[in-house]
């Protein structure tokens, strides 16, 4: 006995549905075996059974026939060995993941350990609306864009292995608690770029920085008087000559007055005294000191004299 298969209810004798195709008999169904999740499909001549697929597969149609397929690159990832707490998994050559004992990450302390070295850098938004970089133990390293601006603040030393370039100026803030700074900047316009190479020492006292014309700087010693200054005094009264170190004095005396010399001890200055008066003027000394063996000397009108000390007394030169 043969009956047609009904798609609404495959029960025998139910003629209220639509048949799949004339001649499709219940005997075709009876020849198939079934399992939970199987799918029946018609291949154009008879019914076929598509067994249930595996987890995460999807149903596709290939040449008008349904089939299960696995997403390329998908599927479960296999592990190798026994997982260890905090180890970071790495891909192996065969497509599996395994833990690496030399690479761990502690989610409690945010510590990354690489080959036994603990590294705990943390980058997060700072309270000043910038990006704060913290080092091991929570020490602040740098703050970028603090206050919403474009500045960067470093809380320790900065090592630059390449060029350090600024299109404005270099500010060196005082090392104390103040905020004053020294600014080093280039001219507003230069003909060409050049390099200045500093000396390899800090130099000696009273030396100056000089160039060789090619940008190589070195320390030099001034020639000549070595920084001697000169003080000129015009007086119409008696005075005591000055005694500032490294200073030559010139006195123009307009009156019959007395010029008292300072102490000779430790004095290396030179004194020029000119009598611009119509009468003689007197130059005397302090204590037991003398000038060429006498306690004082007279300078005739329009004459002048130069005095220098040997550290004990004064002499006319």
For 29-67, give one letter per residue: b (16+ CB within 10 A) or e: eeeeeeeeeeeeeeeeeebeeeeeeeeeeeeeeeeeeee
The length of the chain in residues reads 317
Start-to-end Cα distance in the chain = 155
H or E stretch at 239: strand 239-240
Q: Give 68-101 as a 3 state SS string.
A: EECCCCCCCCCEECCCCCCEEEEECCCCCEEEEE
In this prediction, residue 115 carries a pLDDT of 79
Q: What is the pLDDT along the chain (317 residues), one digit of tens a residue?
A: 334 444 444 444 444 444 444 445 555 666 667 788 888 888 888 888 889 888 888 888 888 889 998 877 655 555 666 667 777 777 776 667 777 778 887 777 767 788 777 776 556 555 566 777 877 667 888 888 777 677 888 888 888 888 888 778 888 888 887 888 888 888 889 999 999 999 999 999 989 999 999 999 999 987 655 567 899 999 888 999 999 988 999 999 998 899 999 999 999 999 999 999 899 999 999 999 999 999 999 999 999 999 999 999 999 99
Query: What gap in Å lies between CA 258 and CA 316, rounded to an integer?
Result: 17
Pairing of strands 304-309, 314-316: antiparallel
How many Cβ atoms from other residues are within 10 Å of residue 297's Cβ?
19
Q: How many helices (H) and strands (E) does the chain have?
A: 1, 26
Cα separation, 164 vs 182, in Å, equals 18
**Dmax of the chain from CA atoms?**
167
Q: Give 110's Cβ-side CA count (13 Å radius).
A: 10
Question: So what's the pLDDT on residue 25?
Answer: 52
Task: From 137, 74, 78, select the one nearest 110 (Cα to Cα).
Answer: 137
* Domain boundaries of the chain, sorted by first residue: 32-69, 79-118, 122-154, 194-223, 229-316
pLDDT value for 275? 93
**Neighbouring-strand partners of residue 154:** 142
The tokens for 96 are 């599996």
Map residue 270 onto helix, strand or coil: strand
């Amino acid at each position: 006995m043969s009956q047609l298969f009904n798609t609404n209810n495959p029960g025998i004798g139910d003629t209220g549905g639509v048949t799949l195709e004339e001649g499709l008999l219940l005997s075709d169904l009876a020849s198939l075996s079934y399992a939970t999740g199987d799918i029946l499909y018609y291949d154009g001549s008879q019914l076929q059974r598509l067994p249930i697929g595996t987890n995460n597969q999807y149903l596709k149609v290939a040449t008008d026939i349904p089939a299960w397929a696995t997403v390329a690159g998908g599927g479960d990832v296999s592990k190798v060995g026994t997982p260890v707490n905090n180890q970071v998994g790495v891909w192996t050559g065969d497509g599996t993941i395994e833990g690496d004992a030399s690479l761990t990450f502690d989610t409690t302390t945010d510590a990354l350990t690489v080959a036994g070295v603990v590294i705990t850098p943390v980058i997060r938004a700072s309270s000043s609306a910038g990006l704060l970089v913290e080092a091991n133990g929570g020490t602040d390293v740098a703050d970028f864009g603090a206050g919403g601006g474009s500045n960067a603040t470093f809380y320790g030393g900065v090592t630059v292995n390449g060029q350090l370039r600024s299109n404005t100026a270099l500010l060196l803030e005082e090392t104390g608690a103040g905020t004053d700074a020294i600014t080093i900047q280039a001219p507003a316009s230069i003909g060409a770029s050049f390099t200045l190479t500093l000396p390899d020492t800090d130099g000696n006292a009273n030396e100056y920085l000089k160039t060789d014309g090619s940008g190589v700087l070195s320390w030099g010693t001034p020639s000549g008087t070595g920084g001697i200054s000169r003080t000129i005094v015009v007086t119409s009264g008696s005075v005591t000559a000055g005694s500032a170190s490294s200073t030559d004095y010139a006195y123009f005396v307009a009156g019959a007055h007395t010029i008292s010399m300072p102490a000779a001890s430790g004095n290396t200055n030179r004194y020029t005294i000119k009598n611009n008066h119509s009468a003689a003027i007197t130059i005397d000394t302090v204590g037991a000191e003398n000038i060429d063996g006498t306690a004082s000397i007279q300078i005739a009108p329009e004459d002048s004299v130069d005095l220098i000390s040997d550290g004990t007394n004064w002499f006319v030169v």
